[in-house]
Amino acid sequence: MATVDKQPAIRCRNLVKEYGSGNSLVRALRGVDLDVYAGELTLMVGPSGCGKTTLLSVVAGILEPTSGEVDVLGTDIARMAQWRKVKFRRDNIGFVFQQYNLLPALTAAENVSVPLILAGVPKRKAVEAAIKMLNQMDMGSRAHALPSKLSGGQQQRVAIARALVHHPQLLVCDEPTSALDAKTGHTIMEILRNVAVEGDRAVIIVTHDSRVLEFGDRIARMEDGHIVSVSPEAATIAAH
């Protein structure tokens, strides 16, 4: 059997997240163990309500776990101070949302530039870099359009450009295709496959769309607050 010499980019152990308390207590994560590797696209699938979004939020550092370990890029983010977590997200994580969440008053290029602006890059340089990123997404011609003038697929491409423009180590996407028709969803997955997976960036995509499973390097199946299987197992990929 081949040895695993690769360090995971994300390592969760016995991760628990509970919402509310008393009678209204919801145990969304019930002891999750998961490794996500750099340079790979990990798909997280499972029925609605099983805890995928919750897990993604904890891993991305925007939700506090109730207990357990969560190690992201070599840092224990569960025990990180709020302000450091904000900076950690800004520097290391790209977000893609189901509802795109673009700022409606900003053009596509300006939207894409926001993570760079947050990092202190001057606006002109940031927008230049944003336009370059949009070109990679075949969106160069719509760089100065407002989101309301773009189709859903185009908006999601802008959102992906925004998530990647500052070259984060980790990209998290929550149901990036479920607001789109099948064909557009397929294109978006291709873009994520071809553009996002680069160098040692780890990409996690949450989906319940079984048609996109072919794009994943690794599929983590979730049920009822647990990871029930990961395929292929870490050893298998590490071996080839």
Ligand X SMILES: Nc1ncnc2c1ncn2[C@@H]1O[C@H](COP(=O)(O)OP(=O)(O)O)[C@@H](O)[C@H]1O
Residue 136 engages other proteins in binding (rule: CB under 8 A): no
Q: Name the residues that contact ligand X, by CB under 6 A.
A: 19-20, 26, 28, 46, 48-54
**Amino acid at the residue 28:** A
Site for other proteins in 172-231 (CB under 8 A): 174-175
Residue 53 engages Mg ion in binding (rule: CB under 5 A): yes
Region binding other proteins by CB under 8 A among candidate stretches 108-116, 128-136, 217-225, 230-238: 108-116
Residue 80 engages other proteins in binding (rule: CB under 8 A): no
Asked whether 123 and 131 are in contact (CB, 8 A), the reply is: no
Asked whether 221 and 189 are in contact (CB, 8 A), the reply is: no
| CB of 53 or CB of 66, closer to Mg ion | 53
| CB of 44 or CB of 134, closer to ligand X | 44
**Amino acid at the residue 70:** V
Asked whether 101 and 159 are in contact (CB, 8 A), the reply is: yes
Asked whether 173 and 192 are in contact (CB, 8 A), the reply is: yes
The C-alpha R_g of the chain, in whole angstroms, comes to 18
26 binds, options ligand X, Mg ion, other proteins, none, Cβ within 5 to 8 A by partner type:
ligand X
134 binds, options ligand X, other proteins, Mg ion, none, Cβ within 5 to 8 A by partner type:
none
| Residue count of the chain | 240
